[in-house]
Amino acid sequence: MAIFTPTSFMGTVAVHWKINSQAVAVNGLAMEVLSSTLVDIGKYLWRPLKAQVTCLIHFRDNVKDLKDKVEDLVAKRNDIQEKVRAGCSSGEIATQEVILWQQRAFDILEEAQGIQQRVGENKECLCCPNLRWRYHISKQAKEKAEIIARHRDQGKFDTLTIALPPPPVINQEAPLIKGQASAELAMKKVMDALRDEKIKIIGVWGMGGIGKTTLVKNVNNQMQGRKDFDRVIMALDLADVGIPCVNDMVGCKIIITTRRELVCRNMETQVNIKVDLLSSGESWKLFKEKAGDVVDLPTVYTTAKEVLKECGGLPLAIITLGRALRGVRNPEVWNNALSQLKKSAPSDVEGMSKVYQSIKISYECLRPDLRPGFLFCGLFPEDYDIDVDRMIRYWKGEGFLEDAGSLEETINRGQSWVEELKLLLCY
């Protein structure tokens, strides 16, 4: 039987009070932990929610900012394009860095305009806006505006255009001139002139068919792969082909080929190189190369030598005839070719029309008042050494120098004609 006493009662109350106090403390700690956890969770959830709410709130601002940034980039791109266009008109090209920037600008603007187009096409109800659509458009507009701003700042270049790189030297198909002493000498003179920094324009002249083009093609091929040489320019009038005055050219060499030394003088060339006819030895070597060993046949040899003589050391004629008679063993065919050449009947010899056409052009280049004097030379025997004073008297007698004036003036004009014919016809 338990006995109740005041002392035991007070002890029980103390115990209960102690237990309740501990419970309150535990509950307070739990509430503190829970509250802190809820705050952290709220912060974690609010971050993305805040970004979405911000995008919704600033929808119009973001769309307008994108519009402004697009206009800024378009203006920057147009300014760069104008400067590049000005450089290109002076023969330069845009740098690779500028080209890549322009391409990227085009892509960015195209993407931005797609966003703007979607904004313009959407017709929202003012009382019930599409919040999901607004959020995505606002977010895209903000991000694209930032990209545009960065790209615009990147459009600062020290150099927009650079000099156009020279085109590669392309190998030109042409007969080799190795073994032709006269042609090799002319080529050496051209190469020396090309290496001379003071010489800008080089004249190569000689009669039609003598091998001027072949010469410069060989020069071109020899210089292939060298960094100090780009290409050979062949022209008659530098102004017509847009080549500036020699004084304005930097790092540029020009070779002019012409039939007349007078053209070289008019073009103010700094060195003139004459391409001479082939010597008899060079002619025979070239002719045999084209016609083949058949020329050494006893039944052909003598006639072949006569045919070669008719070519007069002219490479074009030698090559053309050699190819036409290559491998021909019949002496009658060789005799016919020789006969036709002496009669100047080019249509009867395959390929020779081109040779005669070349010579005809040289004749047509003569001034009209010089042509009768030139044709009069045809009255003299072939390979005849014409006395100049005698020729002038003949010209006077034929009336070619009728308006010259006094005898002294007539002689002076006649001498002038002779010198001019020498220059024009490369004799």
Domain ranges of the chain: 12-47, 58-163, 181-274, 293-363, 366-427
> H or E segment at 92?
strand 92-94
Nearest to 417 by CA among 399, 394, 392, 381: 392
SS3 178: coil
Examine the pLDDT at 14 and tell me if it is beyond 50.
no
Q: Which tens digits make up the pLDDT trace of 117-169?
A: 888 877 655 456 677 888 888 888 899 999 999 999 999 898 888 887 666 66
Q: Which of 76-80, 348-352, 371-375 has the highest mean pLDDT?
A: 76-80
pLDDT at res. 356:
63
* 114, 145, 147, 358 from 107: Cα distances, Å: 11, 14, 11, 58
Is residue 27's pLDDT more than 70?
no
**Which range among 6-10, 224-228, 337-341 shows the weakest confidence by mean pLDDT?**
6-10
| Chain centre to alpha carbon of residue 60 | 51
- What is the residue type of 194? L
Give me Rg for the CA atoms of the chain: 47
pLDDT digits (tens, 9 = 90+) for 371-422: 888 888 878 876 577 888 888 888 888 888 877 778 888 888 888 888 877 6
At residue 17, the pLDDT reads: 45
Q: 3-state DSSP helix/strand/coil percent for the chain, to nearest 5?
A: 65, 5, 30
Q: Tell me: the pLDDT tens digits for 173-207?
A: 777 777 778 888 888 999 899 888 888 889 998 87
In eight-state DSSP terms, residue 187 is H
d(CA 205, CA 420): 14
pLDDT for 71 equals 93
Look at residues 265, 169, 275 and name the one whose alpha carbon lies nearest to residue 213.
Answer: 275
Query: For residues 315 and 214, is the Cβ–Cβ distance under 8 A?
Result: yes
* Average predicted confidence (pLDDT) for the chain: 77
Residue 247 is classified by DSSP as G
> 88 pLDDT exceeds 80?
yes
Please, what is the Cα angle at 328 between 323 and 334, to 5 degrees?
90
Which of 12-26, 215-229, 317-331, 391-405 has the weakest average pLDDT? 12-26
- Higher per-residue pLDDT: 19 or 329: 329
What confidence tens digit (pLDDT) does each residue in 31-53 have?
665 566 655 665 566 566 666 77
Taking alpha carbons only, the member of 175, 182, 178, 187 closest to residue 323 is 175
Who's near 289: CB < 8 A, 6+ residues apart?
A: 322
- At residue 344 the predicted structure's pLDDT band, cuts being 50, 70 and 90, is low
The string of pLDDT tens digits covering residues 55-69 is 778 888 888 999 999
* Integer Cα distance of 373 and 205 in angstroms: 23
205 vs 260: CA distance, rounded Å:
6
What totals of helices (H) and strands (E) does the chain contain, helices first?
A: 15, 5
Identify which of 206, 223, 210, 125 has the alpha carbon closest to the alpha carbon of residue 170: 223
pLDDT in tens, 289-330: 888 999 999 999 999 999 888 888 888 888 878 888 888 899
